[in-house]
């Protein structure tokens, strides 16, 4: 099986990274607790000008490089490889977020090792990448109807309204992928 895995919110704990910077920079502004937000785009959670402030954090050099690993994600991906599956990390890097691509390259190298950089696909058009499944926390992946993969939702507080897709976490990935 060829398994495509999203990075932010799936193998990288972007919420943890973001909220830490946010609280440090805007100590008086409201900040959600990790694992509770209802909006997929984290800046939308705070309203008014918070979206722009959030974007400024994403645009900073090194932000994505310092994202902590999601618990059990690395173990799961390594087990997929050991079991003979092809695994690719498919992640987007916004054209207005200049360091995202290089930071993510570094992040894979630092957390998974150099050979995993060959498994990195950076694109905002995930539908053009071929695979059997895409594990992604985004409620609706753009152009998913044109893709040949099945979107499996990576469970998060902001995608629980999606009921028509298989749902997976790193504690039950084997049962969901191979029922
Ligand atoms: Mg994501």
- Catalytic site residue 132? no
Residue 54 shares a structural domain with residue 138:
no
Residue 18 shares a structural domain with residue 49:
yes
Do residues 155 and 161 make contact, with C-beta atoms less than 8 angstroms apart? no
Look at residues 32, 49, 65 and tell me which one is the last residue of a structural domain: 65
Residue 56 shares a structural domain with residue 106:
no
- Give the domain extent around 96: 2-13+68-177
Question: What CATH number has the domain bearing residue 94?
Answer: 3.40.50.1000
DSSP assigned state of 69:
B
Rounded Cα gap, residues 67 and 14, in angstroms: 6
Q: How far is the CA of 30 from the centre of ligand 1 (A)?
A: 23
Rounded Cα gap, residues 19 and 29, in angstroms: 11
- Catalytic site residue 8? yes
Distances (CA, A) of 57 to 43, 68, 153, 163: 10, 16, 26, 32
* Residue located via tokens 């722009």: 52
Q: How far is the CA of 8 from the centre of ligand 1 (A)?
A: 4
Residue 55 shares a structural domain with residue 74:
no
Q: How far is CA 117 from the centre of its chain?
A: 16
- The pTM assigned to this predicted structure is 0.94
Ordered per-residue pLDDT tens for the chain, 179 residues? 999 999 999 999 999 999 999 999 999 888 877 888 888 887 777 666 777 888 899 999 999 999 999 999 999 999 999 999 999 999 999 888 989 999 999 999 999 999 999 999 999 999 999 999 999 999 999 999 999 999 999 999 999 999 999 999 999 999 999 99
Counted domains in the chain: 2
Do residues 87 and 133 make contact, with C-beta atoms less than 8 angstroms apart? no
Q: How far is the CA of 91 from the centre of ligand 1 (A)?
A: 7
């Amino acid at each position: 099986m060829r398994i495509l895995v999203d990075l932010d919110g799936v193998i990288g704990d972007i919420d943890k990274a973001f909220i830490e910077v946010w609280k440090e920079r805007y100590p008086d502004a409201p900040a959600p607790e990790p694992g509770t937000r209802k909006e997929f785009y984290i800046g939308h959670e705070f309203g008014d000008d918070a979206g722009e402030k959030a974007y400024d954090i994403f645009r900073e050099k090194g932000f994505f490089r310092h994202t902590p690993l999601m618990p059990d994600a690395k173990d799961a991906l390594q087990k997929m490889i050991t079991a003979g599956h092809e695994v690719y990390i498919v992640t987007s890097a916004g054209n207005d977020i200049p360091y995202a691509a290089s930071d993510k390259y570094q992040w894979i190298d630092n957390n998974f090792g150099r050979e995993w950089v060959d498994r990195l696909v950076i694109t905002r058009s995930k539908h053009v990448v071929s695979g059997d499944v895409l594990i992604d926390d985004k409620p609706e992946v753009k152009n998913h109807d044109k893709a040949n993969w099945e979107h499996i939702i990576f469970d998060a507080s902001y995608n629980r309204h999606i009921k028509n897709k298989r749902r997976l976490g790193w504690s039950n990935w084997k049962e969901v992928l191979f029922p």
